[in-house]
Amino acid sequence: MLIWSPKGRAAAGVVASVLFIVFFFLPLAVILMSSLSQQWNGILPSGFTLNHFVNALHGAAWDALLASLTIGFCASLFALLCGVWAALALRQYGVKTQKWLSMVFYLPSAIPSVSVGLGILVAFSQGPLQMNGTLWIVLTAHFVLISAFTFSNVSTGLARISADIENVASSLGASPWYRLRHVTLPLLMPWMMSALALSLSLSMGELGATMMIYPPGWTTLPVAIFSLTDRGNIADGAALTIVLVAITLLLMMKLERIAKRLGHK
């Protein structure tokens, strides 16, 4: 540890706890109180109601929830498929080639999401690959934004798998396809599930690119929250935010639990 003395560790723990409470817990607590209040005209909210959560589970808000789940799962599964394929293909090259190709895969994560959205909007608004006004343009943007993180997780897991395991399978006469199905992918599955959990959470919370390209009928939860708060409907926006946080956390916890279970096999 970087901090050796007990007093130093205690002080560091206090500072970390204070920062966690101030920058993470308190904002969520304020959002939760706002979602449960009838009015908030003073220092503290007044009245208690669940109407904002009822509104969040009906009508346009419910459609936004379904749209976010559909886009999130589709984009995350496709990103996982491409990330696994890219990580497996990349290890066939030398160290220098791997380094440069990895930089290409990580490049989308270094570009602001608004720039990604604008680029995709301009590129696919005309010509043979016109996708403007369709679900596909949103899926493309989410895939571009989350693919780097999926590739990173899978590459990390692949690097921890000893090459001797595949060599032993090969010496026993296993074909490359058999080794992939019965050796490599089962060992890689915990990292694949972690990558899926991370990419799904990123997709569920994506706003910048989606705001620029989403078509009618495919409004996502972050876009719906932004629209509500922009119109001054803070309470309904807060309730929808709590729903988004709860669903994302539940999905991540479930997928991480599956990943741990697979890792212990």
Integer Rg of the chain from CA: 22
Q: What residues does 39 pair with on adjacent strands?
A: 46
Q: What is the pLDDT of residue 44?
A: 66
CA dihedral 166, 167, 168, 173 (to 10 degrees): 90
Q: Are 146 and 79 in contact (CB under 8 A)?
A: yes
Task: Please provide residue 92's backbone torsions phi and psi, each rounded to the nearest 5 degrees.
Answer: -80, -10
- Tokens for 263, please give them: 């890792």
Report the alpha-carbon distance of residue 154 to residue 197 in Å, rounded. Answer: 12
Q: What is the pLDDT of residue 66?
A: 93
Q: Which domains, from first to last, does the chain contain? A: 1-49 (no CATH), 56-263 (1.10.3720.10)
Which residues of the chain are under the pLDDT cut of 70?
A: 1-4, 40-45, 263-265
For 74, residues 6+ apart whose C-beta sits below 8 A from its C-beta are 139
Q: Are 167 and 229 in contact (CB under 8 A)?
A: no
Helices (H), the chain: 6-20, 26-36, 51-56, 59-90, 95-110, 113-123, 135-159, 163-171, 176-179, 185-204, 208-213, 221-230, 234-263
For 160, residues 6+ apart whose C-beta sits below 8 A from its C-beta are none
Percent of the chain whose pLDDT exceeds 90: 31
Q: Are 183 and 59 in contact (CB under 8 A)?
A: no
Q: What is the pLDDT of residue 261?
A: 79
> 62-97 pLDDT, tens per residue?
999 999 999 999 999 999 999 999 888 888 777 787
